[in-house]
Chain A
């Protein structure tokens, strides 16, 4: 038994698993990025974030497969649509609830979750669709293959984190966004138009959902309820990294992806998820403010 275990541990497939976990981490990091930004700035958890991604996936599918547009154009269209959805989410729901209890904001976006699912079902039906594009995989050795989709997701996610970080640190707007996340009341007194900043942040957050939608559309089938399969893990990653902490969220994504893939390697993928969620619950007890948040 133990011999088998050590053998499995040093097998070449285990290394492949670890690398695949790392690459999955890239996707998860990208998924949680927009949600994290919105939480940091507006202090609201969008339960419907995964559904916005789902609608972005449909947009890309229809523009590319039905509309015959090149993938890059379809992707840009997807980002546009999700950015608009982000703007609408804030303008028509959250804006009315800024002073309500945090839990009411969370529940209202939960209403949006059902609304988006219902709308997708009405418009697109329940059949599974896919882009039908395979980027193939990169053969490192005879036994180890890495999928190009995951490799590119990882690269894009890392790139976006850097760009977002620079935007927040260097640009004027980024400075305003960081300031508002530190103190909401004072910024109004300083003459800052918080409404516009919130809307802008919601649009950027929505746009990031569109970016995630591209990578997911390349890997998974699209259906109205796909959001439920990666929504919970996205929230959990944001909380684990310390809500609003972009770098923390990025690192947390890799911890979770490794837990999931290693669990999947030794048993079933579902056990990987169980491990990840149990790890989250226990970690919350030890550091409720997130693993990478500085204690205040």
Chain B
């Protein structure tokens, strides 16, 4: 009862948020957080079953670049471009995923194969710099001056995109819940414990893993496409490559890999931390003495790194997971005390 009330309250708050007139910058920050939260949720859908992929930057880049290239080169609206991009991502996921699962490539071997996939996509982007702009990035052409539903471009008005991002994020949470309540979840949990044993009791290991991987890849590609439509600029550094792949994994680890809202909390913490530190310490050089000058722009990265190490050592379940555990424990103790008292009286 209490739970559903808080969900409605948070939902209402999110719905009216852009109408409160916070201005462009906070709204932009929330939109970016929502888009990344969706990407992180997409990763955690497979990551929670021990399928640690360091290749999700590749899927994000496929989503963004295919959509933007089809629009610029062929004039194909993102309404058709995005589904094509998702199809491409699904295809790549199958091409890499199927042999991986068929030949039992697991653990850090799987992580390293997917890391190579990140590099392949990044290097292809660089090699085709005549079309994609390489490391300079790529901009979808503007369709007229103002809004365009056909091109899914809403420049100068963040409110529309806020609702798009909110819907996409909510959709991600719903998919997470659906997976959580499905039969596949039990199959995948069994697989992550012991592949041979679960195969012996009739779980179709390769097929189950492939299904969840394709779902996760398609969602990640979608987040890339949405990011591209919002920022109207993409580059291998912002939505692809090993850096982004690692960023995805780490935000989820910080937030909590086994909880529905873990990736969202991870996105809020990591993105806000980066922003706050950036504003607080600035980007200038701070000189301690005549010879020693420090470039404080590196501080967010430094703090982020320390935070990750601390989290992995002390809170491997992430913030949300740890809090949920604590509550469950407290509830159990309280219940025990109550029964104890009841028996005593």
**Counting CB contacts under 8 A, is A277 at the interface?**
yes
**Counting CB contacts under 8 A, is A132 at the interface?**
no
Complex interface residues of chain A between 19 and 51 (CB less than 8 A to chain B)? 45, 47
Q: Is the CB of A268 within 8 A of B301?
A: no
Q: Indicate with 1 or 0, residue by residue over B292-311, a CB within 8 angstroms of chain A CB atoms.
A: 01111111111111111101
**Distance between Cα atoms of A199 and B62 in the complex (Å):** 42
Q: Is the CB of B294 within 8 A of A122?
A: yes
**Counting CB contacts under 8 A, is A107 at the interface?**
yes
**Counting CB contacts under 8 A, is A159 at the interface?**
no
B299 contacts across to A, CB distance below 8 A? 118, 122
Closest to A109 in B: B309
**Distance between Cα atoms of A100 and B313 in the complex (Å):** 9
With beta carbons under 8 angstroms apart, the residue of B99, B295, B308 that contacts A122 is: B295
Which stretch (A189-197, A208-216, A278-286) binds chain B?
Answer: A278-286
Closest to B313 in A: A96
Closest to A114 in B: B305
Closest to A278 in B: B120
Closest to A92 in B: B309
A45 contacts across to B, CB distance below 8 A? 108, 112
A122-B298, A125-B293, A281-B120 known; A114-B308 Cβ under 8 A: yes
A-B contact pairs, 30 of them (CB 8 A): A97-B313, A100-B312, A100-B316, A102-B107, A103-B50, A103-B108, A107-B312, A108-B309, A110-B308, A111-B250, A111-B304, A111-B305, A112-B305, A114-B308, A115-B302, A115-B304, A116-B305, A118-B299, A118-B300, A118-B305, A120-B298, A123-B298, A125-B293, A233-B119, A235-B112, A236-B115, A273-B119, A284-B113, A288-B104, A288-B105
Which residues in A have some Cβ–Cβ distance to B below 8 Å? 45, 47, 93, 96-97, 100, 102-104, 106-108, 110-126, 224, 228, 231-233, 235-236, 239, 267-268, 270-271, 273-274, 277-278, 280-281, 284-285, 288
Which residues in B have some Cβ–Cβ distance to A below 8 Å? 50, 52, 96, 99-100, 102-105, 107-109, 111-113, 115-120, 123-124, 126-127, 241-243, 246, 249-250, 253, 285, 293-309, 311-313, 316
